[in-house]
Structure 1
């Protein structure tokens, strides 16, 4: 498990590993670090997987952090150095040492290992294949980077081997060697082989990452290899899988925000100092205010009105934010939701308690009257429609929340109507998923809207949580 060692030995190496976790958003305190050091004393370091699980148990405290941990563990506690000591030999054309790789023979070996499910042998094969292709390439022409250094490529290795094309061949061999089997058993085998192929692809990718880290450094590889946690993924650049992961984090995030709010309320039970009552009490103690009096707080849960842009550019951000608001709706006396693209329409019923929230954005786009002409965002027209039909819902008891990137497609931003709505509300805030540096560029009216109401950058779920926590009523 040796890697790029710290000058302070194993304890220093552990500290470097913990620092890398912190840089990638995993909160690790001194107590967790001490626990991790005890893991090294309690476990046999030869058993690498035992060490991995022990460190994970000691260092991780929240869900969604395991993928980051595993990626960094592979970089800081690699399974081998260099080409390792794999017993698998890569076949060469005409058995010439360092000659071109015999791809057909290599695929035969891979098919046998995938059929047998020998995980250790597959890992050794992945290591040997990456090393062979990194030094010679499949055609023997060489795969070299800058300065003549070996350049390892998971894409090239997997393209040469094409393990997914071996599925039919492996299943045919299994059917030929087994007894009569039903369709169910055949499907189980098919899925099992697919899982083995996916595991082998990951082995090759991990091996390429390890070899690259040895030459270019762990930190260089970690910048691109370590996946972002769900709360660090930017809404506007998230792909479908990341957005699905974000939606699964809504309720845990809402629970954390609610617990923080409970702590704030606990520490804010007393109101401001009541000077008149305090002076009256001090008369019994010679004018010394021994028993200060406080005004009773009368916290009220405000009403919440949400105006959200659901056009394609910000639909993922709006969906996540609305789900978060729905999970926190008990913090408000009433919540009303209005979606808009070119015009606004109320969609509160789609987010009511007990409503089915899967596919809710598709229902919003299908059932609500949001488009008038070309389907491009029109903030000014939407604010006008809202003020005309539902302007009375914004009152001195209302908190107004606007969600969107403020890109008006060069249409009238309608600042007059928005200013009137903000003036009617108790509080008003705008949550913008675009980076602050892009506000005011192109067709963005963010800076102009920012003069009417506070605008907050909410590019990630983490930023959104911080903003919403600050806006929740105490």
Structure 2
């Protein structure tokens, strides 16, 4: 196989060294890329136009990615390993960036020019928009740091403020002169204008990362410029966009876990030995029981009780775990849910129904359930004592108890006796803690104290959550 130039073996090309480095970087971030995928990517370079960066990007994504949810990470790593160019890359000088007598850029002229480019969907305008973004970073996003020249996406975007141009862009896309106050107010044009503003922001971000990588090196920039995979996002520190990505991983994760639990159930319930049938079968071997005959297994599905802290600090983690458990509810004969902040209440009814909207169910639960009767801060001790006195009959010897929370008790009485009584009333009892184990017992945490009574497991992201659920839930 040859390089794109067709002159030298591709195996000896610096391009292949860069491609394998790119793949190693993807693997290091948790994206599974097998040897066959790397071979496919190398073969794809012989037919792709490497000068067409979008075509090359899509070709690499098709050959290297298995999960479309990893595309955001893939694109960020791709931009670092295969940047749009080297050097200043300011493109042709756009008149909008002409300096006045004082050496300043006319921001209003920049905004007007940007609105024109974003409203034009021609190929020429798209090419000009990329050069315009490069100029914007160079002229408006640059600043002097202690280590020399640097560039900021936030500075460039806040200076231009393209979000305020959506109405103007929508009007231009609608073909209106702008005299009519209602021009471009149709939702289809507003959405298209907003999409193009987001596209421009992506161009600014890519150019900023390219310049910073050129100055500081790829490794340093990748520490903050490349997001985590959705399944590796920390539940407690994730922002709204990250949580939305994590939420999309729950359904496929549930399907995978359901299949694994079913396999475990089939293997675990082989049935006890039927002595009578075994002895009868041994008559053909002179009374030696060579072949053991087992009774037909009658596996029953276990019951599951979930007790979760839904206070602000761990609400996101509890919601994801509840969503995962309910996606697996067919693996259990019964699932009952109890929630608490400082007081425990059963909330199973909010999550019943075939067409469950989890966001709505959680909102109704928080507004209608009796979860706060004291100071509104997490009080595990009071919740445990309330459960032990009012709901202990929910626990059986053929079921499991799953507690969700960080164990931060706000210096209240932990009431270990109540938790011990709960653990003793069920066959299995586990606690999933979204905090890193190194932070247990810091501040108001009594996690290790509770861990002396119940098996506690660190569960900070979706990957850990899936492993814990798959290994611990009874079959």
**TM-score normalised to the size of structure 2?**
0.87
Given that 1:236 and 1:459 are in contact with CA atoms closer than 8 Å, whether structure 2 keeps it comes out as: yes
Asked if the contact 1:344/1:382 (under 8 Å) is kept, the reply is yes
| Residue 374, structure 1, aligned to residue 375, structure 2 | yes
**Stretch deviating more after TM superposition (458-467 or 190-199):** 190-199
Kindly state the Cα deviation for residue 112 of structure 1 after the two structures are TM-superposed.
2.9
Q: Which structure 1 segments of 5+ residues have no match?
A: 138-142
> 1:41 matched to which residue of 2?
46
Q: Is the 8 A contact 1:303 1:333 kept in 2?
A: yes
Deviation at 1:430, TM superposition (A): 0.5
CA distance in 2, matches of 1:116, 1:304: 57
The residue aligned with 1:53 is 58
Structure 2 distance, partners of 1:278, 1:9, is 68
The range that moved more, 267-276 or 293-302, is: 267-276
Judging changes above 3 Å, is the alpha-carbon distance between structure 1 residues 320 and 58 closer, same or farther for their aligned structure 2 residues? same
Q: Matches of 1:61 and 1:50 in 2, distance apart?
A: 18
Aligned length, in residue pairs: 460
Post-superposition Cα deviations, 1:322-381, rounded to whole Å, max 9, x if no partner, equal: 111111011111111111122211111111232443322221122211222211111111
2:136 equivalent to 1:129: yes
Distance across 2 between alignment mates of 1:420 and 1:198: 55
Change (3 A) 1:44 1:175: closer
Change (3 A) 1:469 1:106: same
Aligned counterparts of 1:151 and 1:302: Cα–Cα separation in 2: 59
Q: Note if 1:109 corresponds to 2:113.
A: yes
Do structure 1's residue 31 and structure 2's residue 36 form an aligned pair?
Answer: yes
In the TM superposition, residue 302 of structure 1 has moved relative to its aligned partner by: 1.2
1:423 has 2:424 as partner: yes
- Determine the structure 2 residue equivalent to 1:155: 154
For residue 171 of structure 1, report the CA deviation from its aligned partner. Answer: 6.1
Find out whether 1:10 has 2:9 as its counterpart.
no
Matches within 5 A, 1:297-376: 298-354=298-354, 355-376=356-377
What are the equivalent positions in structure 2 for 1:210-359 lying under 5 Å apart?
210-265=210-265, 268=268, 270=270, 291=291, 298-354=298-354, 355-359=356-360
Q: 1:14 to 1:293 in 2, by over 3 A?
A: farther
Q: Per-residue deviation at 1:109?
A: 3.1
Where does 1:454-473 land on structure 2 (aligned, <5 Å)?
454-473=455-474
**Structure 2 CA distance for aligned equivalents of residues 172 and 370 of structure 1:** 49
- Aligned runs of 1:383-394 on 2, under 5 Å? 383-394=384-395
Query: d(CA) in 2 for partners of 1:169 and 1:395?
Result: 64
Cα-to-partner distance string for 1:181-215 (whole Å, 9 max, x where unaligned): 89585434444333322221221111000111112
Q: Distance in 2 between matches of 1:453 and 1:472?
A: 15
Report what 1:72 is aligned to.
Answer: 77
Q: Distance in 1 between matches of 2:134 and 2:292?
A: 73
Q: Are the equivalent residues in 2 in contact too, given 1:282–1:288 (CA < 8 A)?
A: yes
Aligned partners of 1:110 and 1:14: how far apart in 2? 35
1:308 counterpart SS class? strand
Tell me what 1:403 maps to.
404
* Deviation for aligned residue 1:132: 3.7
CA contact (8 A) 1:350 1:357 kept: no
- What are the superposed Cα offsets for residues 281-331 of structure 1, whole Å, 9 maximum, x if unpaired? 789668998646667655332111111111111111111111111110111
Report the equivalent of 2:7: none
Query: Is 2:401–2:430's contact at 8 Å kept on the other side of the alignment?
Result: yes
Please give the alpha-carbon distance, in whole angstroms, between the structure 1 residues aligned to 2:178 and 2:214.
48
In structure 2, the residue corresponding to 1:304 is in which secondary structure? strand
